[in-house]
């Protein structure tokens, strides 16, 4: 039976998604970077990275998926600390700008 171009292309995209999913999973395990950082690195959205890691990877490579799951759970457990640190840095930077402005205004 003949295959249409669209069915061959769809299978190719599927292979590409599988490859990307494995690469993203390995990258997370090796670097322990955040989903946001990996999304930027791979040129995809955070939603795509999350879907690849939590939905697709367990079907493709369950062992890698378990390692990824542990890292994601750790990131989730410390996100309140990371968020608090970001806010602290933001306000510290704003205070410094304000102080610099006051000094130069005199």
Q: Residue 35's pLDDT band (boundaries 50, 70, 90)?
A: very high
pLDDT at 55 over 90: yes
pLDDT in tens, 73-85: 999 998 877 777 7
80: buried, middle or exposed (CB in 10 Å: 19+, 13-18, 0-12)? exposed
pLDDT at 65 over 60: yes
pLDDT value of position 82:
72
């Amino acid at each position: 039976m003949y295959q249409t171009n669209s069915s061959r292309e769809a299978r190719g995209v599927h292979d590409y998604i599988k490859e990307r999913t494995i690469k993203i999973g390995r990258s997370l395990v090796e670097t322990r970077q955040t989903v946001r950082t990996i999304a930027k690195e791979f040129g995809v959205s955070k939603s795509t990275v999350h879907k690849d890691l939590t939905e697709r990877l367990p079907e493709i490579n369950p062992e890698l998926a378990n390692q990824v799951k542990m890292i994601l759970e750790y990131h989730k457990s410390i996100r309140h600390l990371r968020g608090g640190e970001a806010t602290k840095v933001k306000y510290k930077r704003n205070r410094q700008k304000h102080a610099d402005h006051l000094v130069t205004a005199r």
